[in-house]
Every structure is written in C-alpha cells, then in structure tokens.
Structure 1
Amino acid sequence: MRTYALLIADDEASFRELLQRRLGRKGYLVKAVGSGTEALEALAEEEFDAAIFDMKMPGLDGIATLRRAREIQPSLPVLILTGHGSIETAVEAIRAGAYDYLTKPCNLAELEAVLEKALERRVLEVENQGLREALRRLGDEVEIVGRSEPIRRLLELTRRVAQGSMPVLIEGESGTGKELIARAVHLWSPRASGPFIPVNAGALPAPLLESELFGHARGAFTGAVAAKPGLVELAEGGTLFLDEIGEMPLEVQAKLLRFLESHEVRRVGETRIRRVDVRIVAATNRCLTDEVNAGRFREDLYYRLNVVTLHVPPLRERREDIPLLVEHFLARLGSAKEMTPDAMEILMQQEFRGNVRELFNVVQRGVILSPDRFIAPEDLGLAVRRARSGQAGAGLEAGPTGRLDGSASETGEPFPTLDEVERAHIARALERTGWNRAQAAQLLGVSVRTLYRKIESYGLRSGM
C-alpha cells in the first residue's frame, strides 16, 4: 500500500503536534511546520501528496501560502483550517484553489475523511496524467500485420511473455516494428488498463534523460521552476518502453539498474524515495553483447533486462507478408489505389534495409505520385535491384517497368537509365509540391540538403 506524504502548517504548536501524531498513526508521513514561509521552503525541498494550512499564521496567512504553494506544486490538494469561519473566507479559500475548508475546532474524523477524498483525487489526476501522456504518444490499438511463419512464432511467444511481470528485451533491426511488439506485450498483459509510456533512451544527454525518466525537484537545475514526476512514475501500474536501450548513457544505466532491483525512484535534486510498480520493456537494434564487451553497456544491466528476449524478424525474412502489408498501408492511407503486378514484383525483390518503415514510405510515395488508380513501378521511386538468379538477363539492371531483359521496351525504345528514372522521379515530386523543397524532400524520403544537391546535379529548374 502506498504511503502518502503530508505537509501541515499551523502556528498553534499543540494542535500541530496533535495532527502530526494522529495522522502519523494512520500511516501518513507527516512534516509539520509553524509558518507559511516554512511550508513553502518544505515544498521547494520535496513533493507532498496533500497539505493542511491554518488560515491565520504569522507572516504569510493560509490563503497567501496556498497561492504560492500552487505555483511550486500545481496539483497539490490543500485543506484550509481556520478558527474564524465565515462564508466570505470559505469562498476566498476555494477561489484560491483549496480542495476544501474546515473550521476549528474541527472533528478529526471529518478531517481524515476529507483528506482521504483529496488523496483519491490526487491519485486519479496522476493516473490520468500518465494515460494522457501515453495516448498523446501512441494510439489505443496495436496492429501487427503478417501471416508468415516467423511472425506467427513471434506473436505466439509474445502472448505467453505478456502474462508475466519480468523485464522483456526486444531485438531487431530499425524499422521492423519493435515498438508494436512492445505495445502488444502491454495490451495482452494484466497491465493493459494502465499506461504504456515509450521513451527513446538514446535521444537525450544523460542529465536530461535522467530527469525525464525519474523526475526532478523544483530548483534541481536551471529551468526547473516546478517539481515534475518522471515517466517511470507516470507509468505506475503499466509499462515503460525504453527504445534504443543500447544508446542509453552509462550513468543513467546505473540508475535504471537500481530501479530494476528495488522498484524505487528518487527524483533529481530530492531525497525522498518513491516505490513504483511498473514493468520495463526495452528494445535495441544493436547487439548488446558486443556493447557489453566494448564497455558501452553494463553487463549487470544486460542480464537484468535479458530475462526474456523477443526477436523481430527483418522484412527480407518474411517477404510473403509484403502484399498484406501493402494492402494494410493503402487502407491506412485511405487510398483506393492498387499496385500493378510489376510494381508488386519489384517490392517483393527489394532488400528493404529500412524494413517495414521503409515499405510504408515507398507505398506512401506511390500513392502520391501515381497519376491514376494504379501504382506503377516508376511511381515507387526505388533503385531497382539486380535480377534474381535463374531469370533471363541475370546480372542486368531492371528497367522502371520491372522487366529484366536488359534490352528495350515493347515499343523498341531503350529503357531509361537509373539516373534518368531518378531525375524524372524528383522532378515529379517537385511539381506535385509546387517546388516546395521541404515537402518534396519529405515525399522522396531524403534530406533537404540531399534534394538540393540532386536538383543541382540534374539541372532541374522550376517550370521546366
């Protein structure tokens, strides 16, 4: 059961001590101070789950303390106590953000009941914040498309693994869909009603990543104007997905290891320890044993994470799923267009080093660039691979129609070179976007710098 931290500010020592003893016996962690100024200092040092402020205190009164407290910890529920009850004072307290208002001498059982309700709302707000964060980053459903044997084996193992609570390590090349498998682990688990929160473990430098994961206290560093819970806390009762775990800085690896061993976190700049129930699912496109041998990844963390490993196969090992994926992507894009047989044949031959993500980009380009209902090979913008062994013309470059004879088209005209195909493809993308180079680069799947270089190389000009 979670232990809640309470802050009491009251200048009447006997009443303050009475509350501290009574609530302490109820299992609360209570810090009691005698003034509003001391209360604000305490709030700046650590986070509390609720607070009780006396209305009349020397220096800052209860209302002023409440307003300042909400600047430090905006979601803090505060009860106001006063020996001078009046409707005007009650309205002022509620307007200032108080959760409730009780008059002295107050019934302690009533105070405890109101406090419990305030804490219930606090827990609900934190849970909702975690859910909103999860929904902001990802949708509600997981769609894993494929009927190949490698995919069937993977999904069968994923369903079994999902029922446990141990850490899971997902391995696979970039673009294979590791995050989809992580979501499946979550949604097929008893934690499905909790949040699923992903974070790229290699996207931030160590100090920022530590703060993002474990939170920080107010004033912990420049710009920390308020206390903030970390993603580990927001994932309470659910799953935290650590993508690209192999790129996590070593100093953060040490803190993650401590969390996996104790399930306890301490925010940056804070001494308070919080216990958090969350499942860790990690993913990597690197060989972690190589990273361990190179000293870039902690061996003890590797063994802690590697309880169960799920391997996501690359697309080239499940080519039979490509037609299903193409159909799925066309539906996802809301397109009624179809791939021509030649175009589908070219897709089936590609290596797709970018895997499913690259295939989606190719299908999207085809939808945008095809002038009619049918997506032809020249609409895909692919550098066509060499013919497979045993086919006529083996070793020759395929033409943009997917034919592999290496000679000429049915009209007797020679096939264009790959440079000519690329030039025409870039020109079409520029025309479709009104020569908006940023949009054209996105459409082509290249950087703006690369596009500028190609435009210069091919001598392309607007209006040509």
Structure 2
Amino acid sequence: MSSIAVLHVDDEPNFLDVATEILEQQSSKLNVITAASAAEALDCLATTRVDCLISDYRMPGKDGIELLKAVREEFPDLPFILFTGEGSEAVASDAIAAGATDYLRKGHGTERYELLANRIENAVEQYRTNQRAAELERVRALVSSIDQALIRASSLSEIKTRVCEIISDSEPYRHSSLANTTDNIQN
C-alpha cells in the first residue's frame, strides 16, 4: 500500500503534536496533516487530497459528528474515524449512524495508536479497493455501450456519432469540453 494522507482534527494542539508523532512511528505509510477545528478541516479537505480523516468528538464550533455529516455531503465514502476521549455507547451509535467508518476511544500508551494506525490502513485499503472496483465497472459499462453502438451502427458516420455521444456522456467527460466537441468530430 502506498502513502496514506491522514487528516487529524482535534482542538488540543499538544495532543495533535504527540498523536501525529506516535501515529507516524506506528506506520511509515502514514503522513498526518493536522487541523485544530472542524472549519479548518473542511478548508483542508477542499484543497488537499486526504485518504482518511480522524476527528475528536468534543470540539468548539462543530463537534465530531457535525463534522462527519459535513464531510459526508462532499465525500460520502472517505474513511472517517471518530477518535475521542469523550466516549459512550450513545456517541458511538451516533457516529456509526452518521456514517463513521470506525469509532475508537483515546487511551494511554502506544497500543492505542498501534490499533488506530491499523484501523486507518484497513479502512483506506478498503476505500481504495472500492474506488478501483467502481472505476473498473465504469470502464466496463462504457466499453459495453460502445460495443453495442458498433454492432447497431449502419455507417461510419453513425459509428462516429454514437461513440462520441457515449464517451462525452460518460464520467469523467460529462462536464468537460469533450462534450462540446462531439459536433466537430462528427463532421
């Protein structure tokens, strides 16, 4: 597995520094970026590729569950681990119901961070596997549609038209300038 960009959100700067150091010691794959608030985390997500987000629960402004809900609006599948000292079954239940990938209570000693690093790696591996599977399915569906267009076409012009339409209507081209060039290719 390649490098994993982890965004760790906690309103305690000293805790973030220590947690970052310990996590990166637990796994050489982890590259931890920190944010001191939910707002800072959302700004970071808007500009930086992140593979996993870890958040405390109790923070000023938005708490961890509110951050999770905001993240899910933009990144519905991004691994999100609630890593909190404020733990209860109710918080864990709320986190899972809101779409958290995992929930883990903070603790003392490096064993907790070893467990957290392991859970991050597992969640990201599953996330990346799902992304690859979705991309392969998208390509398979596109190839199948083009195959059908080739079989049904009765002229070279019709082949060009249908293939260009199929490609320009597919992701990631749907909203690109390729969709606008279909007429130029057909002529």
The offset of 1:174, in angstroms, is: 4.0
Equivalent position to 1:80, from 79, 82, 87: 82
Report Cα offsets for 1:15-64 as digits up to 9, x if no partner.
21123223445233321011111111111223311100000111111000
User: Percent identity of the aligned residues?
Assistant: 31
Is 2:83 the counterpart of 1:115? no
Report Cα offsets for 1:234-262 as digits up to 9, x if no partner.
xxxxxxxxxx9x96xxxxxxxxxxxxxxx
Report Cα offsets for 1:397-428 as digits up to 9, x if no partner.
xxxxxxxxxxxxxxxxxxxxxxxxxxxxxxxx
For the 8 Å contact 1:47–1:73, the answer to whether it is kept is no
The offset of 1:199, in angstroms, is: 4.0
CA distance in 1, matches of 2:58, 2:131: 31
Question: 2:107 aligns to what SS in structure 1?
Answer: coil
Q: Which residue of 1 aligns with 2:151?
A: none
Equivalent position to 1:124, from 119, 129, 152: 129
Q: Which residue of 2 aligns with 1:20?
A: 20
Is 2:68 the counterpart of 1:63? no
CA distance in 2, matches of 1:134, 1:23: 37
> What amino acid maps onto 2:48 in structure 1?
E
The 5-angstrom pairing of residues 52-451 of structure 1 reads 52-105=54-107, 107-139=112-144, 174=156, 199=167, 208-209=176-177
The alignment's C-alpha RMSD in Å is 3.1
CA distance in 2, matches of 1:15, 1:77: 21
> What amino acid maps onto 1:123 in structure 2?
R
Question: 1:127 aligns to what SS in structure 2?
Answer: helix
CA distance in 2, matches of 1:99, 1:17: 24
Question: 1:11 aligns to what SS in structure 2?
Answer: coil
The offset of 1:208, in angstroms, is: 1.7
Higher gyration radius (CA)? 1
Is 2:16 the counterpart of 1:48? no
CA distance in 1, matches of 2:14, 2:177: 45
CA distance in 2, matches of 1:52, 1:89: 15
Give TM-score, length-normalised by structure 2.
0.73
CA distance in 2, matches of 1:4, 1:82: 21
CA distance in 2, matches of 1:7, 1:82: 15
Give 5+ residue unaligned stretches, structure 1.
144-172, 179-197, 213-243, 248-284, 286-464
For the 8 Å contact 2:2–2:29, the answer to whether it is kept is no
CA distance in 1, matches of 2:33, 2:87: 25
Give 5+ residue unaligned stretches, structure 2.
149-154, 161-165
Question: 1:18 aligns to what SS in structure 2?
Answer: helix
For the 8 Å contact 1:43–1:73, the answer to whether it is kept is no
Q: Which residue of 2 aligns with 1:2?
A: 2
The alignment covers a number of residue pairs equal to: 160
> What amino acid maps onto 2:88 in structure 1?
S
> What amino acid maps onto 1:37 in structure 2?
A
Report Cα offsets for 1:116-173 as digits up to 9, x if no partner.
1110111112112102212322339x79xxxxxxxxxxxxxxxxxxxxxxxxxxxxx9
For the 8 Å contact 1:10–1:57, the answer to whether it is kept is yes
Give TM-score, length-normalised by structure 1.
0.31
Is 2:20 the counterpart of 1:33? no
CA distance in 1, matches of 2:46, 2:63: 18
Report Cα offsets for 1:161-198 as digits up to 9, x if no partner.
xxxxxxxxxxxx947x89xxxxxxxxxxxxxxxxxxx9
CA distance in 1, matches of 2:24, 2:105: 22
CA distance in 1, matches of 2:99, 2:125: 17
CA distance in 1, matches of 2:18, 2:88: 25
Report Cα offsets for 1:69-113 as digits up to 9, x if no partner.
111212111000111221111100000110010111161111011
